[in-house]
Structure 1
Amino acid sequence: MASQSIPTDPGLDLTVCDREPIHIPGSIQPHGLLLIADTNTLAVIAGAGDLETLFGDAWLGASLSTLIGQDVSALLASAPIGGGTLMGAPMTAGAASFDVSIHRAGDRLLVELESASPAPMTAGATLNWLDTFATGFERATGVQALCERAAVAFRALTGFDRVMVYRFLDDDAGRVVAEDRDPALSTFMHHHFPASDIPRQARALYIRNRTRAIPTVDYVPQPIRPATFADTDLSDVAVRSVSPIHLRYLRNMGVGASASISIVKDGLLWGLVACHHAEPRLLPADVRLAAATLASGLARQIRAKEEAETYRERLRLRAAEDAVVPHLNDTVSLAQSIEGAKAELRMMLAGDGFAFIQGRTVISDGTCPPPAAIADIAAWTRTHAGMEPFSTHALGSVMHAAQVYADKASGLLAMPLTDGGGTLLWFRVEEVEEIEWAGNPHKSVQLDAGETLTPRASFETWTEAVRGRSRRWTLEEVEAAHRLRRAFHDAHQARQLRMLNGQLQQTVAEKDSLLQQKDLLMKEVDHRIQNSLQLVSAFLSLQARAAGPGEVADQLREAQARMAAVAQVHRRLYRDDHIETVDLSRYLEELSGDMKVSLGKDWASQMTIDLAPVLVATDRAVNIGLVMTELVINATKYAYDGAAGPIAITLEQHRARFRLIVADEGRGKSGHNAGFGSRMMSAMIDRLDGEMDLTDNQPGLRAILTAPVGAAKTG
């Protein structure tokens, strides 16, 4: 029967079921017995059920250990850390045998007794049975196949007419995802049940107490006696009486007996194994224990299958990212990159449509709203979500203006970019969902003629069309959107870096061009200076020959030597790649070579050189070269009375200072200090911020120039 949404009665409080104290019902089901004892004295202080038939009238106040025939203190001492249910030894009373379970509830001990199975499952048979079905669970290819196998396994274990695997949805409603039933029964497969069918406090008890059985829905509750203990918390008691509303709910479904086993994954209630039987049916404690163990294995397999599906989804998304990211790193603009990769971007997050908006630029692919609507959606997401990715599978419910184009954009994943002010939008089209409910979900509870809250009476298939929704965005897809935004940020940074590198390369190229022009200009200057120096040197040589032997010729030759020193530094200056600095040792060595040529073979054979490498500024090298030239000239003039003799030239570096030493083995004097050469040398030494020491070389003179390697700081 198909229908539109039917409003609920505004006067009906649907939260009454959520507030019902089902954990303290004050009674138990009649298929079991309950003893309540004081934790300290182990004296029985209350009970429920037909205790007189089993223990006689004197059960109240009796010793708990005496009544159940076992040392309760020893059982409590051997209880595992963390508490929980403690299984006692089976108790025999006449021909009857009972399973014994002990629970703690504050300062009270709760002991429940249930009739033991006439043919209990042996430990070996139970383990073999569990192993068989666990192997089948492992071989299931996915969660759906796993649930289908679980329905078959639990029906074989419990023997109920119908077994359903019921999964909770995000809105706390539930859906039957697997079913195994008697062929004579109608199916509930794929049916939805509203959240009100299983109230909030009932879901909490399902996590705490993993199995529950109702052998017959027509039982008469057995109250706790004395009534002053009716407030005892029976959350862990399997024979706890259930809500009268729930019993009417089951009767309305045509169920005679029921059982439920919780599927708890990571501490949360993933779903239930719901068992229904048309006639009364007991589910013994040993079968419930086996069912709980099987449900734990089922939960682990569900987790493994879901994690495998998640892993495959992440692999798919990573592969899609690997195909998209190279497009983002192109040298073109952001909009051009997105234009070239828009189809891949759409398919990466399984969107029916994709759009990029930046200012007035709109790029789209697939099924999208009009450009004006895209701009409105982008502005709305930036207002409501800021710079964080935003996702919804029901856009019209949060942005009412979007209901107009729900057929194109019921689902939205929006990702504002941190760089450039653009927004990426993925759209999913509306998927009209036909939901089959087990009865009208809008009539899940109602009031009877006596104003008593009752569950709905009809469970006939009720179909509802849900509109305005799309496929949901998965957590993995939202995570991929976060990663994609980082990739866009990195691509933007790379694009900016490439632009800056381009500007820098252009600047460097312009600088290189200017340096080349400067180099050509300076080489031209050097060429002219060298020509001028050669002309002056040739003129001095001609004048020396014309003057003949004597003081004038000697002075002209000294001037010629000084001109050679200047010419040499210019040659070194424009031959090196680094014109700002020169290797002083190399420069002085070449300068000494020129002097050997000008002085002749006799002097050249007597001169020795020992120069350590020292980098100095070019202008300082010129001054040092002139000083060395003057010292050598003085030695040739005065040390040996015009004859050739040994001259040693040494260059040393001591941290930030250097020493230039010119030593001879002559008569130990260098002439007067008033000549042109001496005045020029003093000026050079001052410019070097150095000092000159003349010492005895034993025999001869040792002239030592000491100065900083670099120019002295000023200011």
Structure 2
Amino acid sequence: MNFVDCHEEKIHISGHIQDFGYMIGLDAESKTIKFFSQNIAQLFEMDQSFFGKSFAQEPDVFEPLLASVVLNNLDLDTIKDTDVFLDRIEINGKSYHFTIYRYGANVFLELEEVTEHFHQRSFVSKKYESIHNASDSRDIWNELLSSVFDAIDYDRVMLYRFLEDGSGKVIAEKVKNKVESFMHLHYPESDIPRQARELYLKKRKRIFSNVYSEPVPIISNTAEAVDLTYSSVRGMSPVHGQYLKNTGVASSFSTSIVIDNKLWGMVTCQNIEPKHIDLVNRIRAEVFTVIAANAYTSYKSRQMLADSIELERKIGALKSKLMAYDNLEDSLFGNVAEMQEYPAADGLAIIVGHHIRTSGEVPSDKNILKIVQYARENPLKNFYATNDFSNSQQGNLGNIENAAGVMFGFTDDKRNELLIWFRKEIDGQVLWAGNPAKKTESRIVNGKEQMMISPRKSFETYIEEIKGKAQPWKNKDIFAAKKVVATILETTYSQFRRVQELNEELKNLNEELDSFSYSISHDLGTPLTVMKLNAQLLEKSHHDHPEVRKRVSSILAEILGMENMMRGVLSLSRAKSSDIKIQELPTADIIAKVSSDTKLTLNENAEIMMGSLPNVMGDETMLTQVFLNIIGNAVKYSSKHESPKIEIEGKVDGNHVIYKIKDNGIGIPESAQAKMFKIFNRMENAKSFQGNGVGLSIVYRIMNRLGGKISYESRENEGTTFILTFKKP
């Protein structure tokens, strides 16, 4: 006696059709009759003597088929397996749906009587719109069920979603009064076995009109079984029929929900009494389902995009925080609490070598190191996630507190650093539609006794207690964790490993740039001098032509601007490369001289107030240039104020001397503050003042060479305070 698992039942070659349908099969090459359903004689006077004949050879018998416009215009040699063609024909005064399709070497002709009249165009279009316009997944599925419910009028319409292990759950439902609800119930994988799921992905709608009716055999002129994969009238499995009887229903209809070419779920409909659904309404239900699947896909895409945008925002902030540290370990350990939240975990452990830093609720260090050892010894899993770590027997670790859910990723090639996110165990229940345990029974199949899976006889709610599992990681959790790992690889480990190489490259590049800047500025000096002399001669020779003098004056102004710019570039280059002599300098004397000269050349009305001016360590030439630029800017940009005022004050702070130069000038707009020290940068509110945007770049470079720094505080139209930090003598 053989045992036949439910996965082994060949449901696609049942050898029967249901009694509401009729079938004729043609050989695709010869177009002659190859098989037919036993009940075909109810429509056409034919028997097995018709095997090998074409319809044209018996025109009187097949006159209704030969009159089909669709069949007459089809080239049966070129139609594809996925193509289906529909027509409506009259036979003996009755209307029949006529379906034509090809599968492999056979052309199938299927007939079923038209059972309804259809005058519901506005109803259909409104249902399409209601599904398409639903705002979220719950509304989408409820609108779908409502549409299918109204179209087929069955007692129970359910939305059944497949889970990762092949089992399923009812996530939405619509029932008539007094019909038992199956909402939230789970069904084991064996209820819809693997080959059934594969078939439902190909043939997306199927009906079992009457589970108590006798199936109609297919008569064939060959021993080869007829593959009914795409048949709308295929006879159902006896096991499936018994299953439906055990649930207390007599009719079943379903359409497949396909997302990303995978069987995501089904709309499953049941009726207590036998009931056939006309082909048109079955097609409508299928179209409703396709529209809902598309609407759900669109909704999930929008949701994923919003999640992705939010995650990218967080990742951008995380990058900045990671880069604020000088070494990898500090960088990771300093951000452990934040990284815990990205995949919504109960806890996070970061491991660098044998050092551990944790956040939230995590296992003990001893147990963390056990998981680390497992992770490092498993060569195939650079990233791993499970919500059932104790039951998966990973590394024979058993049940570890706070580690029912585990997700880890490595941040280096040598598996030295990794992040492990944890989720705690949650107590839960699964409500099953009957006891999911498999039971077998003996059946006689083709004269042989076989042990087969027996359908459940009771569907009374069975409660299974769930232990040792965590809340499953969602796709967005896994994506967020992988994004964090990738960000660490990008902004920390890789950066730290290459820092010296990059510094060397940057040094060489800056030296080349300085050399180029000096060369260009020096080489342009002579031609500009010649241009300036010629322009001055031209101006003198046309002293009696005002218009010419005006244009020449404009040229001279442009040449002067270029000379100032070149001097600025040369000064910037020298600030980086010229030799310096660091010594204690009398800062008060330098500031007094610079202030006096600046007032004389820029604005004699400016009031410059000086407080304490302690000495600093610096190079005399460079220090003079720093104060010349900063004080000069303060005087220049406050010159339009009715009472221009500049305050200069220094103070000793530990090992540093801090100077503040404050003015009441035009201030710096917030939009310009990020690029204040870039060369040739000029603010919009400074365009009416003379300048070339080089001065602050020179000061920035000089302060770096002197071992100090420059910063500022400013508000537009309220003035600016520059802060200079020097080394204390």
Q: TM-score, normalised by structure 1?
A: 0.64
Q: Deviations over 1:220-242 (max 9, x none)?
A: 11111257467111212111111
**Distance in 1 between the 2:472 and 2:87 partners?**
52
* Alpha-carbon shift at residue 497 of structure 1 (Å): 6.0
Query: Hey, what does 2:474 align to over in structure 1?
Result: 474
The answer on whether the counterparts of 1:394 and 1:410 sit within 8 Å (CA) in structure 2 is: yes
One-letter amino acid of the structure 2 residue matched with residue 163 of structure 1: V
**Distance in 2 between the 1:235 and 1:55 partners?**
25
The answer on whether the counterparts of 1:45 and 1:60 sit within 8 Å (CA) in structure 2 is: no
What's the secondary structure of 2:398's corresponding residue? helix
One-letter amino acid of the structure 2 residue matched with residue 16 of structure 1: D
What's the secondary structure of 1:166's corresponding residue? strand
Q: Deviations over 1:376-411 (max 9, x none)?
A: 1112111114672222222111426543324x1111
* Alpha-carbon shift at residue 463 of structure 1 (Å): 1.2
**Distance in 1 between the 2:501 and 2:225 partners?**
77
Query: Hey, what does 1:298 align to over in structure 2?
Result: 292
One-letter amino acid of the structure 2 residue matched with residue 430 of structure 1: E
Q: CA RMSD in A?
A: 3.2
Alignment of 1:304-383 (within 5 A): 304-383=298-377
**Distance in 1 between the 2:116 and 2:486 partners?**
66
**Distance in 1 between the 2:434 and 2:306 partners?**
37
Query: Hey, what does 2:243 align to over in structure 1?
Result: 249
The answer on whether the counterparts of 2:160 and 2:266 sit within 8 Å (CA) in structure 1 is: yes
Q: Does 1:460 find its partner at 2:460?
A: yes
Query: Hey, what does 1:430 align to over in structure 2?
Result: 425
**Distance in 2 between the 1:502 and 1:41 partners?**
78
The answer on whether the counterparts of 1:321 and 1:348 sit within 8 Å (CA) in structure 2 is: no
One-letter amino acid of the structure 2 residue matched with residue 464 of structure 1: E
The answer on whether the counterparts of 1:136 and 1:149 sit within 8 Å (CA) in structure 2 is: yes
**Distance in 1 between the 2:324 and 2:413 partners?**
16
The answer on whether the counterparts of 1:359 and 1:422 sit within 8 Å (CA) in structure 2 is: yes
What's the secondary structure of 1:293's corresponding residue? helix
Alignment of 1:558-707 (within 5 A): none
> Match for 1:17 among 6, 28, 52?
6
One-letter amino acid of the structure 2 residue matched with residue 286 of structure 1: V
* Alpha-carbon shift at residue 244 of structure 1 (Å): 0.4
* Alpha-carbon shift at residue 17 of structure 1 (Å): 1.9
Query: Hey, what does 1:102 align to over in structure 2?
Result: 100
Q: Deviations over 1:98-129 (max 9, x none)?
A: 1111122333322111011241x25xx34x43
Cα pair distance change 1:73/1:156, threshold 3 Å: closer
**Distance in 2 between the 1:132 and 1:80 partners?**
37
What's the secondary structure of 1:50's corresponding residue? helix
What's the secondary structure of 2:102's corresponding residue? strand
Query: Hey, what does 2:138 align to over in structure 1?
Result: 144
Cα pair distance change 1:60/1:118, threshold 3 Å: farther
**Distance in 2 between the 1:351 and 1:175 partners?**
26
**Distance in 1 between the 2:352 and 2:126 partners?**
60
Query: Hey, what does 1:135 align to over in structure 2?
Result: 129
Q: Deviations over 1:231-259 (max 9, x none)?
A: 11121211111110000000000011111
The answer on whether the counterparts of 1:32 and 1:113 sit within 8 Å (CA) in structure 2 is: yes
Cα pair distance change 1:258/1:331, threshold 3 Å: closer
Where do 5+ consecutive residues of structure 2 fail to align? Answer: 508-576, 581-729
Query: Hey, what does 1:485 align to over in structure 2?
Result: 485
Say which is worse superposed, 342-351 or 489-498, in terms of deviation: 489-498
Alignment of 1:405-444 (within 5 A): 405-406=400-401, 408-418=402-412, 421-443=416-438
Where do 5+ consecutive residues of structure 1 fail to align? Answer: 1-10, 507-575, 580-715
* Alpha-carbon shift at residue 267 of structure 1 (Å): 2.1
Cα pair distance change 1:59/1:91, threshold 3 Å: farther
Alignment of 1:394-413 (within 5 A): 394-396=388-390, 397-399=392-394, 401-406=396-401, 408-413=402-407
The answer on whether the counterparts of 1:146 and 1:302 sit within 8 Å (CA) in structure 2 is: yes
Cα pair distance change 1:388/1:33, threshold 3 Å: same
What's the secondary structure of 1:23's corresponding residue? helix
One-letter amino acid of the structure 1 residue matched with residue 55 of structure 2: L
Q: Does 1:225 find its partner at 2:219?
A: yes
Query: Hey, what does 2:186 align to over in structure 1?
Result: 192
What's the secondary structure of 1:324's corresponding residue? helix
Query: Hey, what does 1:64 align to over in structure 2?
Result: 55
The answer on whether the counterparts of 1:51 and 1:59 sit within 8 Å (CA) in structure 2 is: no
What's the secondary structure of 2:181's corresponding residue? coil
The answer on whether the counterparts of 1:255 and 1:277 sit within 8 Å (CA) in structure 2 is: yes
Q: Deviations over 1:533-592 (max 9, x none)?
A: xxxxxxxxxxxxxxxxxxxxxxxxxxxxxxxxxxxxxxxxxxx9799xxxxxxxxxxxxx
One-letter amino acid of the structure 2 residue matched with residue 463 of structure 1: I
Cα pair distance change 1:78/1:229, threshold 3 Å: closer
Say which is worse superposed, 356-365 or 34-43, in terms of deviation: 34-43
**Distance in 2 between the 1:79 and 1:226 partners?**
21
What's the secondary structure of 2:233's corresponding residue? coil
**Distance in 2 between the 1:438 and 1:322 partners?**
47
**Distance in 1 between the 2:220 and 2:81 partners?**
27
One-letter amino acid of the structure 2 residue matched with residue 31 of structure 1: F
Q: Does 1:183 find its partner at 2:163?
A: no
Query: Hey, what does 1:281 align to over in structure 2?
Result: 275
Cα pair distance change 1:201/1:219, threshold 3 Å: same
Query: Hey, what does 2:198 align to over in structure 1?
Result: 204
The answer on whether the counterparts of 1:79 and 1:86 sit within 8 Å (CA) in structure 2 is: no
* Alpha-carbon shift at residue 31 of structure 1 (Å): 1.0
Q: Does 1:270 find its partner at 2:264?
A: yes
* Alpha-carbon shift at residue 417 of structure 1 (Å): 2.4
One-letter amino acid of the structure 2 residue matched with residue 341 of structure 1: N
The answer on whether the counterparts of 1:166 and 1:176 sit within 8 Å (CA) in structure 2 is: yes
One-letter amino acid of the structure 2 residue matched with residue 90 of structure 1: R
